[in-house]
Structure 1
Amino acid sequence: MIRPYILAETNWRHLKTEKFELAILPWGATEAHNYHLPYATDNYQAEAIVNESARKAWDRGDKVVVLPTIPFGVNTGQKDIYLDINLNPSTQLAILKDIITVLNNQGIYKLLIFNGHGGNNFKPLIRELGLLFPKMFISFCFFPQMLDKYQYFEEKGDHADEMETSLMLHIKPELVLPKKDWGSGEAKKFKIHAFNEGWVWAEREWSKITKDTGTGNPMLSTAEKGKSFFNDVCSKMSLLIGEICQADLNDLYE
């Protein structure tokens, strides 16, 4: 069944008389995720969450359209991990500029970037694009920060961990290797302790901090945990979509 809010599936017969308030751009990455998860994990997660959230919003009458997922992200810290594909931030800026030019020219002035990859940082890009496109309201979200994930998962981590593995067991179980093939996700920390406290930052060299490319123990992952987290994220996301769709860009503040 064609979903009219998914640009890749809909058609000109529908679009020639349609008017959208908000475009959502899922943005992921192509990179190793421990031994057991597919390289497109971030893309599958972002797309699944956005599509289900948009469905909920569309069914309530919100005029939202989901753009095709950008499958490559910033992977400068993984340059020696085989076939981890990198897009530099400057490349991301150029891509966004071209997409926003189309939206702006066609009267869709609201864009939400749905980030599925921790290496992407859209804040400085949005600041620059905001100067170039003053009519546009450009925002982004990063789904692991939407909820307290430790209400759903026990193990800490940020890559191919319990959360991501559970989500993939729910979304794409056929692409997850058997548990006997999972790596432990053990990761080294900086010897300079301040870098581990969150107030100073340097990029991690991935091949030096982890043997299996994972950071976080996935062993307690289950599809049931993934489903619970997925459903709650989609419910919250759908409400955000509705609020942005209905927002008056001339009256955003209280």
Structure 2
Amino acid sequence: MINNSKEKKHEYLIEEMNAVQVRKTMNEKTLAILVLGACENHGDHMPFGSDFIFPTEVAKRVATKMSNVIVLPTIPYGVSLHHDKFQMTMSINPETMVNIISDLLTSLIQNKIRRVLIINGHDGNIAPIEIAARSIKNKYSEMTIACLESWWILVGQIRKDLFEVWDGLGHGGEAETSAVLAVRPDLVHLESAPKDVIPKLPENIRIFWKFDELTSTGATGSPKKANIRKGREIVQIIEDILLSFIKEMEMTDWKYGLYLK
């Protein structure tokens, strides 16, 4: 349901709510949003929390525009084993990450929350999310678990014209740097951005690389092409996609596939 009030105070952030507010707010049709990120080097120009700073802000913006939505505390760490050669990479083992996600989803179902939207900000979390989500769905068939897996790929596919190099791709590259510029410009130092690094990789077959095999700076892509205008457009694109998805699902009471017959 769309929230028509001009201002919605922080009654959607679980970390800031008390028990009275939770009882008043939550019901069996509540949608819980969970943001997953990472803590790792993104080059000299970007903060270590880039992978959760942007998606957390998007989650909050979505929640302010919808009613009956709660935002869970962000998980600021992820599976970053492939970045461990870079300073202050804080990584969770894949098995541990699967367990964390599974435990959180189980906690939600125990609290009668059956609708979950995961917003992911880090590539290393994609596999653990799928393993956990499929396992929990198999155990609790009444639960609907959705996920925006890789916003950084999606924006380049939707708006190729927005980016100048590599469809905006890159770790701390054109799209990601622009996105963080839009929500936390105080944390981005474009003057320190490294030169373009477009890794030479096969097109159709995936290689499971270590990040230090691709770059010596912690960043790839073309961060110097980033700007706040692109970032604001990225924010709007992702926000619109998420809002459209939620509204579409609400129209069918979160039913899909054969359940619609």
- TM-score per shorter chain, which class? 0.7 to 0.9
> What is the distance in 2 between the residues matched to 1:107 and 1:134?
13
The one of 210, 224, 241 aligned to 1:236: 241
Structure 2: unaligned runs, 5 residues or longer:
1-7
Question: Aligned AA for 2:130?
Answer: K
Q: Indicate the larger mover: 108-117 or 242-251.
A: 242-251
What residue in structure 2 maps to residue 24 of structure 1? 33
What residue in structure 1 maps to residue 173 of structure 2? 161
> What is the distance in 2 between the residues matched to 1:247 and 1:92?
31
Q: Alpha-carbon deviation of 1:247?
A: 3.6
Q: Indicate the larger mover: 5-14 or 78-87.
A: 5-14
> What is the distance in 1 between the residues matched to 2:30 and 2:207?
38
Q: Indicate the larger mover: 47-56 or 179-188.
A: 179-188
Identity value in percent: 27
Q: Alpha-carbon deviation of 1:124?
A: 2.7
1:57-87 Cα shifts (integer Å, max 9, x gaps): 23xxxx1111111111111211211111111
Distance of aligned partners of 1:209 and 1:231 in 2 relative to their CA distance in 1, 3 Å threshold: same
> What is the distance in 2 between the residues matched to 1:31 and 1:247?
39
Determine if contact 2:36/2:78 at 8 Å carries over to the other structure. yes
Distance of aligned partners of 1:146 and 1:201 in 2 relative to their CA distance in 1, 3 Å threshold: closer
> What is the distance in 1 between the residues matched to 2:252 and 2:95?
30
> What is the distance in 2 between the residues matched to 1:250 and 1:234?
22
> What is the distance in 2 between the residues matched to 1:54 and 1:247?
20
Q: Alpha-carbon deviation of 1:172?
A: 0.6
Query: RMSD over aligned Cα, in angstroms?
Result: 1.9
What residue in structure 1 maps to residue 111 of structure 2? 106
Say if 2:65 is the partner of 1:56: yes
Determine if contact 1:25/1:113 at 8 Å carries over to the other structure. yes
Q: Alpha-carbon deviation of 1:40?
A: 0.1
What residue in structure 2 maps to residue 3 of structure 1? 10
> What is the distance in 2 between the residues matched to 1:128 and 1:64?
24
Determine if contact 1:22/1:244 at 8 Å carries over to the other structure. no
> What is the distance in 2 between the residues matched to 1:237 and 1:222?
23
1:1-254 matches, within 5 Å, as 2-18=9-25, 19=27, 20-58=29-67, 63-121=68-126, 122-142=129-149, 143-147=151-155, 148-156=158-166, 157-177=169-189, 179-190=190-201, 196-198=202-204, 200-249=205-254, 252-253=257-258
Determine if contact 1:155/1:161 at 8 Å carries over to the other structure. no
Q: Indicate the larger mover: 162-171 or 123-132.
A: 123-132
Distance of aligned partners of 1:250 and 1:170 in 2 relative to their CA distance in 1, 3 Å threshold: closer
Question: Aligned AA for 1:34?
Answer: G
> What is the distance in 1 between the residues matched to 2:176 and 2:101?
26
Question: Aligned AA for 1:128?
Answer: S
> What is the distance in 2 between the residues matched to 1:244 and 1:6?
22
Higher helix fraction (1 or 2) = 2
> What is the distance in 2 between the residues matched to 1:103 and 1:216?
38
> What is the distance in 1 between the residues matched to 2:55 and 2:18?
23
> What is the distance in 1 between the residues matched to 2:255 and 2:70?
22
Determine if contact 2:197/2:222 at 8 Å carries over to the other structure. yes
Q: Alpha-carbon deviation of 1:187?
A: 4.1
Of structures 1 and 2, the one with the larger relative CO (CA 8 A, separation 6+) is 1
Structure 1: unaligned runs, 5 residues or longer:
191-195
Q: Alpha-carbon deviation of 1:207?
A: 1.3
Give 4+ residue runs of structure 1 displaced > 6 Å after superposition.
Answer: none
Question: Aligned AA for 1:51?
Answer: K
> What is the distance in 1 between the residues matched to 2:237 and 2:255?
31
Normalised TM-score (structure 2) = 0.85
> What is the distance in 2 between the residues matched to 1:118 and 1:35?
20
Question: Aligned AA for 2:45?
Answer: H
